[in-house]
Amino acid sequence: MLPYVLIGMTIGLVVEVCVRLLKLWVYRQPQTPVFNVIVVFGLIMGAIAMLVRRNGLLLPFVIGGGVGLAYEVANLAWLKWWEFPDARLGSLRGHAIIVVVMSLAWGTVPLITAKVQAALPRLPRTAAPQASLLEKLNQREKALIEKLNAVRQREGDLESRLDDLRRRKQILIDKQAARPVEHPGRRGSPTP
């Protein structure tokens, strides 16, 4: 979705610069163009533009136009975020015709966004993450092999010490078996 949002925001930025240079309408609050660029052009129209690939051009145009119509009517009725001086937009006169034309313009924004996104060169999206993921897995495998080798060496050391202990134990057992065992109750009788 991010490419659609960024393209929509770029379109919005171009529109807002043109509006300012041509003085097509006037904003009452300085933050409204920022809201329009980020939220309306970027997020809303960018999201609608994602429908073009699956649904063709008509549905996104209708939805974009409907959102634009609702936005323009809401502005005229109660938001009052911008105004068209003398109810004019270029050669158009009257709020009703301006709202209709603006709604049609809003409907084209998702279509333009989708066309621009489709025209952009495709970057290999999965090559870099897979390569870095593979590299991380290789590093983890190497670390585990090193730990396993260290455990095996420790096991060899322990087996060697155990063998040495058993050999010494067997020597002690053999020495004890070779000595005659004296029984305390069976001493020889004294000779006169």
In a domain, 133, yes or no: no
* Count of structural domains, the chain: 2
| 8 and 98 inside one domain | yes
The pLDDT of residue 178:
83
One-letter amino acid at 8 equals G
> Do 10 and 84 reside in the same domain of the chain?
yes
* HSE (side-chain half, CA atoms, 13 Å) at 144: 6
Residue 135 lies in a domain: no
Q: Is 17 helix (H, G, I), strand (E, B) or coil?
A: helix
What pLDDT is recorded for position 25?
93
**pLDDT given at position 125:** 56
User: Would you list the DSSP string of 71-119?
Assistant: HHHHIIIII--EE-GGGEETTEESHHHHHHHHHHHHHHHHHHHHHHHHH
The model carries a pTM of: 0.61
44 and 113 housed in the same domain: yes
Specify whether 114 is located in the same domain as 146: no
In a domain, 36, yes or no: yes
Residue where a domain terminates, one of 71, 88, 119: 119
N residues, the chain: 192
Q: Is residue 132 part of a domain?
A: no
Structural domain includes residue 131: no
Same domain, 109 and 41: yes
Asked, for residue 23, whether it belongs to a domain, the answer is: yes
Q: Could you tell me if residue 99 is inside a domain?
A: yes
Q: Which residues contact 57 (CB under 8 A, 6 or more apart)?
A: 111
Residues 54 and 85 in one domain: yes
pLDDT at 133: 86
Instruction: Count other Cβ atoms within 10 Å, centred on residue 59.
Output: 14
Rounded average pLDDT per 10-residue block, the chain, 192 residues: 93 95 92 95 96 94 96 94 91 93 96 94 63 87 93 92 92 85 58 58
Among 25, 70, 19, CA closest to 44: 70
Same domain flag for 87 and 155: no
Same domain, 34 and 114: yes
Q: Are residues 108 and 146 in the same domain?
A: no
**162 lies in which domain range?**
140-175
Does a structural domain hold residue 184?
A: no
